[in-house]
Structure 1
Amino acid sequence: MSVFSTSLFTDVDFERDGKQTGRVSLPYSVTRSAYGVIPIPIAVVKNGEGPTVLLMAGNHGDEYEGQIALGNLIRTLDPASLAGRAIILPSANLPAARAGQRVSPLDQANLNRVFPADPAHGPTHEIADWIENHLMPMADIFVDLHSGGGSLDYVPFVSVSLIGEPEQDKQAYALMRAFGGPYGHLWDASDAKLTTGGSRTAGGAAQRQGCIELGGEFGGGAIVNTDHLYLVERGVRNLLAQAGVTPNVAVEPSGTMRLMASDAAEHFSFAPDYGVFVPAAGLGDEVQSGDLAGTVHNLEHPEREPLAVHFRASGLLICVRAIGRVEPGDCLGHLAVDTDEPKF
């Protein structure tokens, strides 16, 4: 049994060859269970020496494609096919996953906004601290699989953060290309990430720990899209092959990838008032600055004209709201723009 500086502990041996499935135990003392733990699933698949890939999903509990894909991988990945190690954390924020929520019901914290974490601040911070300071230092590559959850829906894209180090960026970009899919999103790690979290995310933590960092959004709406699930499963297999963890597996071609970038403030649209949002553009549409994004209808005052919301930039609508009802400040969607092939 391994014990770490936080109160979390695990029954897996990260240095042992073979396939192990076990639990990361998060002590959680409450009235009904004074010495209880929350058993977060983990798997380690290892064979000899080689790179380590840390695969994570369930950062947000209502995002399912990644969680299902990594569960399938745990059952099917043969350690004999490896030259290295895969550490798999399929439902990282298990309390949120149990509840089907973006945030943990234990402390209302968003795991992907608490890095770097102080474990004294609650269960979600303890999980984040353990991931950043005990799992990530073992990894060469970190992959965080997302979808839009209950409130958003995305076109499926794999993403990579470029840090300005040519050799590492070249490897990261090759991994993104190998993962495949219709869209590839390039994040500039020096960007403040106005809405999407920046250094407070698991991706920011991975960069601090020296990992190559990839992610992605694969649908949303708190459902499982089987096309997106297949894309994630194929992508993870391809990434392991490209990384050299499964050296005898060929990377499966996945067609043309359109390169995109976003995260400028004007790429995002927000609700101006309470009501129901009626979109005027659909997921994957090309829009122009000034085009109507949609209207917000006040159900309590049907005599009032709906409030119009217009796009503040041109681009591809890669994300839309998945819920009709809105409150002021709710994200209604965001754009991405075409970007050039990076030069290393």
Structure 2
Amino acid sequence: MKSRVWTTIDFETAGIQSDFARVPYSSDTSAYGWLPVPMLCFKGEAGPTALLTAGTHGDEYEGQVALRRLARDLSTTKLNGRVIILPALNHPAVRAGRRNSPLDGGNLNRLFPGTSEGGPTAMIAHFVATELFPLADLVIDLHSGGSSLDYLPLALAHPGRSESEKHAVHRLLTSFAAPYSLLTDGAGGGAGTTLYAAAEQRGIPAITTELGRGATLWEAGLSIAEGGLRRVLRDYGLAPDIAVDEPAQSRFLQYQGPSASIYAPCDGLFEPLAKPGDCVEEGHIAGLIHPLDHALATPVELRFATRGIVAFRRFLTLTSTGDALFGLAAEPAKQ
């Protein structure tokens, strides 16, 4: 079904266009209104199309700022192809500074491919999947740890469904060149309902990132996002003259999945004793949970069930049963 979201941007017209993806929304104060999702289209001579998004979660800022900076640079850069930028994809969540939309509670990165007849968050997902994916030759969706997580600075991708897709994803990860590149099937996260998983289902090389810690702007993560975007645009011939610093080589890892993660077994105050990037062994102590209601109670010890590299840990101290506290990655198995 065709998307109900609309825009005045003509994606085939050369030059720079700025408008909104206009999401129909009927509220108490505007029966026939729409929600503005900022969107930019830069089109030059013949070439590929890059779809670049951030603000899929509203409390993740490195990507939002990086795309705004990139847009200003692209206005004076020669392009071979087309770059479509949505720096605040879940705009209601961005305005609220929240992971999920305050309008319908929707987590945009758990709703793909969306629906044209759902709430505003599902309609945004449907617009991206049905109107923007068909235009795209590559997709980058920038994320950070947000309010609850402290992450290794990494780019993530599904491994690809065929040899050609594996090669295309590896090329995109290598070009973006985050300090760490992690292959995952999405288990423990959004699995097939994320933006980059939905792109993979369309056969589009797609990566996402985790470049921050807490709901603030981390300078190092912003620098990684900016450098990665510029390298991709240069390496894919979209902006061959764009200035970019050369990074160290990315270190490839494999996510170990929920079975190697640690989840809170009870409510309490979380005291982490390991941090992202630490190499840990099976049985190593990961942290403590101090029960809230019993000041003299012995803290609950948390231990790693396997060896690995800490990919993320919980950023918040106040913790409830079931909260994800640590996730592990490992060196990929040798072929």
Q: Which TM-score applies when normalising by structure 1? A: 0.93
- In the TM superposition, residue 259 of structure 1 has moved relative to its aligned partner by 1.1
Q: Out of 161, 176, 197, which is 1:179 matched to?
A: 176
Q: Deviations over 1:116-165 (max 9, x none)?
A: 22232211111100110111111010111111110001010122322142
Aligned to 1:315: 308
| Contact in 1 for aligned 2:157/2:208 (Cα 8 Å) | yes
1:121 is paired with a residue whose SS is coil
Q: Is the 8 A contact 1:148 1:219 kept in 2?
A: yes
Q: Which of 110, 114, 122 lines up with 1:113 in the alignment?
A: 110
Q: Deviations over 1:173-202 (max 9, x none)?
A: 122112113211123xxx4x3212121111
Percent identity of equivalent pairs: 39
Give me the whole-angstrom Cα distance separating, in 2, the residues matched to 1:161 and 1:169: 9
Once the two structures are TM-superposed, the CA of residue 80 in structure 1 deviates from its matched residue by 4.9
Instruction: Report 1:51-130 matches (<5 A).
Output: 51-78=48-75, 80-130=77-127
2:321 matches 1:328: yes
- Matched AA of 1:283: P
SS of the equivalent of 1:119 reads coil
2:192 pairs, out of 181, 196, 199, with 199
**8 Å contact kept, 1:180–1:253:** no
- C-alpha deviation, 1:211, in angstroms: 0.8
| Residue ranges of structure 1 left out of the alignment (5+ in a row) | none
For 1:69, give the aligned amino acid.
A
The amino acid across from 1:63 in the alignment is E
Deviations 1:29-88 (A, max 9, x none): 111222221111000001021100100111111010001100111111136511000010
Taking a change above 3 Å as real, the CA distance of residues 80 and 276 of structure 1, as seen in their structure-2 partners, is: closer
Distance 2:253 2:77 in 1: 37
Contact 1:183–1:258 at 8 Å: present in 2 too? Answer: yes
CA contact (8 A) 1:195 1:263 kept: no
| Cα RMSD, aligned residues only | 1.7
* Distance in 1, Cα, partners of 2:9 & 2:76: 15
Which deviates more from structure 2 when the two are superposed, residues 248-257 or residues 8-17?
248-257
Corresponding residue for residue 238 of structure 1: 231
SS in 1 for 2:309: strand
Give the match for residue 146 of structure 1: 143
Deviations 1:242-298 (A, max 9, x none): 111113347642013211111422221100111100111122211111111111111
1:27 aligned to 2:20?
no
Does residue 1:262 correspond to 2:255, yes or no?
yes
Q: Which residue of 1 aligns with 2:129?
A: 132
Query: Is contact 1:115–1:129 with CA below 8 Å preserved after alignment?
Result: yes
The answer to whether the Cα contact below 8 Å between 1:259 and 1:340 also exists between their aligned partners in 2 is no
Structure 2 partner of 1:229: 222
Q: Relative to structure 2, which stretch is displaced further, 28-37 or 45-54?
A: 28-37
1:276 to 249, 269, 293: 269
Q: Which residue of 1 aligns with 2:12?
A: 15
Query: What number of residue pairs does the alignment pair up?
Result: 335
Deviation, structure 1 residue 27: 1.5
Offset, 1:225: 0.6
CA distance in 1, matches of 2:183, 2:31: 46
Instruction: Quote the residue 1:297 is aligned against.
Output: 290
Instruction: Specify the code of the residue in structure 2 equivalent to 1:17.
Output: A
The one-letter code of the counterpart of 1:100 is G
* 2: CA distance, partners of 1:256 / 1:36: 48
Q: Which moved more, 1:238-247 or 1:87-96?
A: 238-247
Task: Give 1:333-344 correspondences, 5 Å limit.
Answer: 333-339=326-332
Secondary structure in 2 aligned to 1:81? coil
Tell me the secondary structure at the aligned position of residue 5 of structure 1.
Answer: coil
- The 8 Å contact of residues 53 and 88 in structure 2, kept in 1 or not, is answered as yes
Structure 1 segments (4+ residues) deviating >3 Å: 248-252
| Matches of 2:192 and 2:303, distance apart in 1 | 30
Partner Cα separation in structure 1 for residue 76 and residue 6 of structure 2: 24
Look up the equivalent residue of 2:66 and give its one-letter code: A
The separation in 1 between residues aligned to 2:297 and 2:105, in whole angstroms, is 36
